[in-house]
Amino acid sequence: MKEICQSVFWTESVSDVVEHCFDLTGEAPIVLVDESTHDHCWPLFNQSGQFTKADLIEIPQGEESKSLEIAEQVWSALTNLHVNRSTWVINLGGGVVTDLGGFISSTFKRGVNFINIPTTLLSMVDASVGGKTGINFGGFKNHIGVFSLPHSVCICPEFLTTLPEEHIRNGFAEMLKHGLIGSEDHWNNLQKLPTTLEGVSDYISSSVQIKADIVERDFRDSGERMKLNFGHSVGHAIEAVGMGQEEHVLHGYAVAAGMVIETRLCALKGLISDEQAKDIEAVILQYFEVSNLLSISVEELLPYIWQDKKNTDHMNFTLLSQIGTGLVNQEVTAEELAQIIA
Ligand code: GLY
């Protein structure tokens, strides 16, 4: 396995991931899965039977599992399994599993070692890397949580072979964001790619690298790391509005719509030209059909935007000064948002 940045490993082969984990955990770790990764990823991970003595804990699939109720159930399961500080937890799944599993591992008995094996593109390029763990609370995204680094993150695109294209796009939104906030070259490379596994896989590690470099400089999110939140002030609000509805809004689609609105804000505030904003918007909309999300009213979004962790006594957004450069702590008013949002 190649270490692409501190404790983040890349390999094309699941057997390398198995070997790395086995060396650390031995044959009987706890493996946290959801229904889908139990069916599709666990058989791949345990194909040669090394982890037959592992204890699997399965949570329901979906964002609703990032809840206090599910966290309590998993803490109870760990208690019943007599987990102690020498036990390892492997989080095998997408962002829900790695966010929840990281939070549970970091708080159980004040912390047990954990490894993230992301199985979605979104978790490979974002959620599993950088040590943000947590759950949703009171209708707000990631409201309760801790910063806590996994011992290792093992990224292997073989886990993505069964992922539908919609979920490749879901992660691709974060890859586009990495280009916009951190590297014009990355942005240019991504623009013409098909959103298939073959199309994007050569660029996963550069996306992770952009994120990891920023995290290394500002682990606790007090400055530069907030660049990674471009598109998320509005994106999280869109997701929160969608939480109560029958069909859940995928994070990447909400962030894509959030990036469109926040790019328009950059132009409104004179940070980039109207032409640049239109070019960025056209690239995003070429991949994401989000007209329904762009028509959510400012009145619906504002209560959630106000809860954003970047805010102080006013709303602070991450905006762009040019393609490849994010700007943190940009004050935005409700009036400005109302000019941009229907
Ligand atoms: N997902 C944004 C961050 O890790 O800071």
91: which strand partners? 32, 116
Query: To test ligand 1's pocket by mutation, which of 146, 180, 229 has the most ligand atoms within 8 angstroms of CB?
Result: 229
Question: CA 121, CA 149: separation in Å to the nearest integer?
Answer: 19
CA 151 to centroid of ligand 1, rounded, Å? 18
Q: How far is the CA of 321 from the centre of ligand 1 (A)?
A: 20
Determine which residue's CA is closest to atom 3 belonging to ligand 1.
228
Query: Does any ligand 1 atom lie closer than 6 A to the CB of residue 132?
Result: yes
The DSSP secondary structure of 159-177, one letter per residue, reads: GGTT--HHHHHHHHHHHHH
Q: How far apart are CA 262 and CA 258, in angstroms?
A: 6
Q: Which of 178, 211, 236 to mutate to test the pocket of ligand 1 (most atoms within 8 A of CB)?
A: 211
DSSP state letter for 229: G
| Residue 129 CA, closest ligand 1 atom number | 4
Q: Ligand 1 centroid vs 315 CA: distance in angstroms?
A: 18
Ligand 1 and 181: CB distance under 6 A: no
> In Å, how far are 22, 193, 263, 294, 341 from 268, measured between CA atoms?
53, 29, 9, 17, 12
* Ligand 1 binding pocket includes 225 (Cβ within 6 Å): yes
Please give the structure tokens belonging to residue 13.
């082969």
Q: Which pLDDT tens digit goes with each residue over 15-30?
A: 999 999 999 999 999 9
Residues 89-145 pLDDT 10s: 999 999 999 999 999 999 999 999 999 999 999 999 999 999 999 999 998 888 999
Residue 47 has pLDDT above 90, yes or no: yes
62 pLDDT tier (thresholds 50, 70, 90): very high
Query: Counting atoms of ligand 1 from 1, which one is nearest the CA of 127?
Result: 1
Q: Is the CB of 236 under 6 A from ligand 1?
A: no
Whether the Cβ atoms of residue 98 and residue 118 lie closer than 8 Å to each other = yes
| Ligand 1 binding pocket mutation candidate from 99, 209, 219, 221 (most atoms within 8 A of CB) | 221
pLDDT at 17: 98
Atom 2 of ligand 1, nearest CA residue: 228
Nearest atom in ligand 1 to the alpha carbon of residue 221 is: 5
As a whole-number percent, the residues of the chain with pLDDT over 90 amount to 94
Using an 8 Å Cβ cutoff, are 97 and 91 in contact?
A: yes
Residue type, position 248, single letter: H
- Helix/strand/coil for 108: helix
Ligand 1 binding pocket mutation candidate from 99, 125, 126, 328 (most atoms within 8 A of CB): 126
Instruction: Give the Cβ contact number of residue 164 at 10 Å.
Output: 8
Say yes or no: CB of residue 232 within 6 Å of ligand 1: no
Size (the chain), residues: 342
pLDDT tens-place string over residues 203-235 = 999 999 999 999 999 999 999 999 999 999 999
Q: How many C-beta atoms surround the C-beta of residue 208 within 10 A?
A: 25
Q: For ligand 1, say whether the CB of 131 is within 6 Å of any of its atoms.
A: no
- Which tokens go with 193? 């790619």
- Any ligand 1 atom below 6 A from CB of 126: yes
- Give mean pLDDT, residues 284-299: 97
> What is this structure's pTM?
0.94
Residue 234 Cβ contacting ligand 1 at under 6 Å: no
Distance, CA of 61 to chain centre: 16
What percent of the chain stands above pLDDT 70? 99
Q: Which residue type does 166 have?
A: E
Outline where 32-128 has alpha helix (H): 35-40, 42-45, 68-80, 95-107, 121-122
pLDDT at 250: 93
CB-based contacts of 286, cutoff 8 Å, min separation 6: none
pLDDT reported for residue 162: 84
Q: Which of 309, 312, 300 is nearest to 338 (CA)?
A: 300
Residue of 273, 174, 251 lying closest to 214 (CA atoms): 174
> Residue 147: what are its φ and ψ, rounded to 5°?
-85, 125
Q: How far is the CA of 50 from the centre of ligand 1 (A)?
A: 33
Tokens of 274: 């109207």
